[in-house]
């Protein structure tokens, strides 16, 4: 923009445009203060956007002349410096010009400008003013300048009502707070347990604290079975990177074939469709071996604390002890029978822990520990050394009867405690699988047989007690006797000669025993069978003990009168027959056989086992008389039990030959037995040996086995030999 000239602007007609202020100056006034001519006064009066407030106040009413409504062009000029000049001048020029609306001299005043009217649009608004084309007449100097009427600036369109917006915002805020409050109430009062439970499940960890299983000791405190700390090796199939290489690395350490390990590590899904992340590879691994597995650092392979059942003796008393599962649950033998005593109560630790890499316990978080309660231990009546020797002797004898079954029981008098109880075949309880289930059975309590002639001691004992016979009784004995349609012969024919009762026992006369039973009667014989403990389990402590069976009186046939007195048509176990002979050795008092001596609690407190059941069967005098008669079996010439005699000791006992029945069917071969006691004058021990030999020859095993077992037992306990010359002299065929 070019600088403004001091000369006033002229219109095209050549006349000077302006208002009355364009007239010549008053007398003596300089021209520099006149508006419209230029200079500082013109700059002060100039507003770039329209009329000044001063001009607004002096605007004439509608209807005045056009000249009066016109605003000097100088006032509508676009000079941008005019407002600043007005402020600097403070209105002094206006005061000099004589205007009434000028601010006082010397006082700074700010002149507010008013924006020009915005032209209205075509929709009913006023059209913009037309540009004048005719020249305006010069304004008279004696008339004030006409000013354009002022209009209020157009208000902007009303976009929204602030009060409505405030109300709407308040309602929305209150609604939001109400919804949040109701939700908080539900979370705190209604849904709190569910969310709290879910949170606890996510945060808490549970660690099982295994309870050690109780041990099994012999009567001297030597361990027969015990639990030792071990490790188990497991795999997470989802993390195993190289199954083949992993299996090859673990196979020599765990002793498991590579193919089996690969099968165990094979990915599989659970019933819920989730991939399994755990699989046992080996249980009961020794700690040094587990450390070697850990050192391999195989992906997906881990080691954790475990428990292993240690059986130091291997097959020692294996048929009695039994074994446990890998989870320490008793499966057979005493381990199963007393599982509730031996098994402890596992404890656990529940605590809060972080997730992911922060899976450590949270300090100060929830933590509760339930200590594990170790199981109690069992102290048996078994003597380890005696058990070992009994098993050894029985095993050597059974080698002569291949395919057979043997049982041996050593019982202490007068306590009824079982000092040894052996079975053959047997197995290694430390490695029970694989093994034949038959080999794991305890033959003494599960082997049901027709006892044969060892039952005759019960028949003679009942006859003595009932007064049917005396030790001096004799009567003629035929070579055979018929009952019903069955003949019962003797192996040592008497040819009808008179025979003593000791002679009948020495030669195991069937005819003599049946004759005595006829005098005793069926009912009294059955009654004494029950008193001696036949027909029901002894309750020794072994699980699955057979009860045997007595023939009820209403089932007797004519032949039963011949078979029952000699031990046929009677089902019994070796242990039942041992207990019956123990009653004879114990002065006629039956004592329940038992294996458990005491229970040892985790705190070391010892609780004796319940007292065994006792009852009187024979009088001491009759029991002593019967023992004396039974000595004839091991002393009389050509007696059946000479092979069972123990040098230096008086032995009273009886041989037997019976059968084995399976599901009511007689099995091939025979069951040979010998049950005896020593020293006969004051018995300390009763030993029974039963041998089932499918091919026969069991008698050659039973007698010698008894002899060796009794000899070892007497020496082990340092029992003094019998006095010389104390053995009685028996007459088989008195004149």
In this prediction, residues 385-398 reach a mean pLDDT of: 97
Residue 19 forms part of a structural domain = yes
In this prediction, residues 371-398 reach a mean pLDDT of: 96
What are 309-323's pLDDT values in tens digits?
999 999 999 999 999
Cα–Cα nearest to 596, from 382, 385, 440: 382
Residues 547 and 460 in one domain: yes
pLDDT at 142: 55
Residues 337 and 415 in one domain: no
646: left (phi over 0), alpha (psi -120 to 50) or beta: beta
Q: Which of 84, 113, 142 is the last residue of a domain?
A: 113
pLDDT at 158: 61
Q: Residue 118: pLDDT above 50? A: no
Span of 508-512, 580-584, 667-671, 675-679 with lowest mean pLDDT: 667-671
pLDDT at 141: 54
pLDDT at 168: 87
Residues 311 and 411 in one domain: no
The three-class DSSP label of residue 524 is helix
Strand partners, 693: 670
What are 697-712's pLDDT values in tens digits?
899 999 999 999 999 9
Residue 245 forms part of a structural domain = yes
Residue 30 forms part of a structural domain = yes
What are 544-598's pLDDT values in tens digits?
999 999 999 999 999 999 999 999 999 999 999 999 999 999 999 999 999 999 9
Spatial distance between the Cα atoms of 619 and 464, rounded to a whole number of angstroms: 9
Exposed e or buried b per residue across 218-252, where buried means at least 16 C-beta atoms within 10 angstroms of its C-beta: bbeeeebbbbeebbbbbbbbeebeebeebbebbbe
The CATH number that applies at residue 568 is 3.40.710.10
pLDDT at 356: 62
Q: Residue 179: pLDDT above 60? A: yes
Domain count along the chain? 3
Residue 669 forms part of a structural domain = yes
**Mean residue pLDDT across the chain:** 83
Residues 337 and 394 in one domain: no
What are 467-495's pLDDT values in tens digits?
999 999 999 999 999 999 999 999 999 99
Q: Which of 289, 324, 343 is the last residue of a domain?
A: 343
Nearest 5°: CA angle at 421, between 419 and 425?
155
Residue 472 forms part of a structural domain = yes
Q: Tokens 């402590």 belong to which residue?
A: 541
Q: Sign of the C-alpha dihedral, residues 694, 697, 699, 703?
A: negative
Residue 262 forms part of a structural domain = yes
Residue 424 forms part of a structural domain = yes
Residues 331 and 408 in one domain: no
User: What is the extent of the structural domain holding 563?
Assistant: 388-716
The CATH number that applies at residue 254 is 3.90.1310.10
Residue 580 forms part of a structural domain = yes
pLDDT at 352: 81
Residues 295 and 392 in one domain: no
Q: Tokens 């700074």 belong to which residue?
A: 108
Q: Residue 161: pLDDT above 90? A: no
**C-beta of residue 515 within 8 angstroms of C-beta of residue 499:** no
């Amino acid at each position: 923009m070019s600088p403004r000239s001091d000369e006033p602007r002229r219109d095209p007609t050549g006349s000077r445009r302006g208002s009355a202020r364009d007239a010549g100056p008053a007398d003596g006034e300089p021209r520099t203060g006149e508006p419209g001519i230029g200079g500082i006064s013109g700059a002060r009066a100039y507003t770039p956007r329209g009329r000044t407030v001063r001009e607004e106040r002096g605007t004439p009413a509608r209807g005045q002349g056009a000249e009066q409504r016109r605003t000097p062009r100088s006032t509508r000029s676009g000079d941008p410096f005019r407002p600043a000049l007005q402020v600097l001048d403070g209105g002094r020029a206006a005061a000099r010009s004589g205007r009434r609306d000028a601010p006082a001299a010397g006082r700074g005043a700010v002149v507010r400008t008013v924006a020009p009217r915005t032209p209205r649009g075509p929709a009913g608004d006023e059209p913009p003013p037309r540009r004048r084309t005719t020249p305006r007449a010069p304004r008279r100097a004696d008339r004030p300048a006409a000013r354009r009427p002022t209009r209020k600036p157009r208000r902007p369109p009303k976009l929204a009502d602030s009060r409505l917006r405030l109300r709407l915002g308040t309602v929305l805020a209150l609604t939001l707070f109400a919804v949040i409050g109701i939700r908080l109430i539900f979370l705190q009062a209604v849904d709190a347990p569910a969310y709290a439970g879910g949170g606890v499940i996510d945060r808490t960890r549970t660690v099982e604290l295994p309870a050690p299983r109780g041990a099994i000791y012999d009567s001297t405190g030597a361990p027969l079975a015990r639990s030792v700390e071990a490790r188990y090796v497991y795999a997470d199939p989802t993390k195993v990177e190289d199954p083949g290489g992993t299996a090859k690395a673990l196979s020599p350490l765990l002793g498991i074939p590579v193919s089996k390990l690969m099968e165990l590590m094979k990915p599989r899904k659970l019933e819920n469709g989730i991939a399994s992340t755990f699989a046992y590879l080996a249980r009961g691994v020794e700690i040094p071996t587990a450390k070697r597995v850990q050192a391999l650092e195989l992906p997906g392979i881990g080691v954790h604390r475990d428990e292993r059942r240690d059986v130091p003796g291997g097959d020692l008393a294996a048929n009695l002890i039994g074994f446990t599962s890998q989870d320490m649950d008793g499966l057979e033998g005493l381990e199963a029978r007393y599982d509730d005593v031996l098994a402890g109560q596992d404890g656990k630790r529940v605590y809060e822990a972080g997730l992911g890499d922060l899976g450590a316990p949270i300090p100060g978080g929830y933590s509760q520990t339930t200590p594990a309660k170790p199981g109690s231990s069992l102290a048996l009546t078994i003597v380890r050394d005696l058990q070992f020797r009994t098993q050894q002797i029985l095993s050597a004898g059974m080698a002569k009867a291949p395919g057979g079954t043997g049982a041996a029981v050593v019982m202490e008098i007068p306590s009824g405690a079982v000092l040894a109880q052996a079975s053959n075949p047997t197995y290694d309880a430390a490695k029970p699988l694989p093994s034949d289930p038959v080999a794991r059975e305890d033959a003494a309590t599960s082997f049901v047989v027709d006892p044969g002639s060892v039952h005759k001691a019960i028949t003679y004992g009942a006859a003595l007690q009932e007064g049917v016979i005396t030790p001096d009784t004799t009567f003629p004995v035929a070579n055979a006797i018929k009952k019903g349609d069955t003949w019962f012969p003797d192996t040592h024919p008497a040819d009808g000669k008179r025979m003593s009762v000791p002679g009948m026992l020495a030669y195991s006369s069937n005819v003599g025993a049946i004759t005595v039973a006829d005098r005793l009667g069926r009912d009294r014989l059955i009654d004494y069978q029950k008193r001696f403990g036949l027909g029901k389990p002894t309750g020794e402590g072994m699980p699955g003990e057979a009860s045997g069976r007595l023939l009820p009186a209403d089932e007797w046939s004519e032949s039963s009168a011949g078979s029952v007195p000699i031990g046929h048509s009677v089902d019994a176990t070796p242990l039942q027959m041992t207990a019956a002979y123990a009653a004879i050795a114990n002065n006629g008092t039956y004592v329940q056989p038992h294996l458990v001596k005491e229970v040892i609690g985790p705190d070391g407190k010892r609780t004796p086992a319940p007292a065994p059941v006792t009852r009187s069967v024979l009088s001491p005098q009759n029991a002593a008389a019967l023992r004396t008669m039974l000595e004839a079996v091991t002393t009389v010439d050509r007696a059946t039990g000479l092979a069972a005699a123990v040098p230096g000791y008086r032995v009273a006992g009886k041989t037997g030959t019976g059968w084995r029945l399976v599901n009511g069917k007689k099995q091939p071969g025979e069951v040979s037995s010998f049950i005896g006691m020593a020293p006969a004058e004051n018995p300390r021990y009763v030993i029974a040996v039963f041998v089932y030999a499918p091919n026969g020859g069991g008698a050659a095993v039973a007698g010698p086995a008894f002899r060796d077992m009794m000899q070892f037992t007497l020496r082990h306990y340092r029992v003094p030999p019998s006095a010389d010359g104390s053995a009685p002299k028996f007459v088989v065929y008195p004149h």
